[in-house]
Amino acid sequence: MCSSSGRIWFLTDRRIKDDYPQLEILRALKAKCCEEDIDFRALLMDEVVLTVEQGNL
């Protein structure tokens, strides 16, 4: 993992995580985030409730 100046989260449904478009998006985001010094996090979800409070997930 690269050191970071920001963070991006990639959320995807567990049922489609191995589909071609999801894998390509994941690969491209990881590469771009490393180039731009952004912390990349991926989250697989079945059913998730997200709360953003004061800019924090």
Token duo for residue 10: 């990639």
Instruction: Tell whether the model's pLDDT for residue 14 goes beyond 80.
Output: yes
pLDDT of residue 29 exceeding 80, the answer is yes
Query: Has residue 53 got a pLDDT over 70?
Result: yes
Specify burial of residue 29 (Cβ count, 10 A radius: 0-12, 13-18, 19+).
Answer: middle
Where in the sequence is the domain holding 15, given as residue range(s)?
1-57
Number of domain units in the chain: 1
What pLDDT was estimated at residue 43? 87
What is the average pLDDT score of the chain? 86
pLDDT band at 46 (very low <50, low <70, confident <90, very high): confident
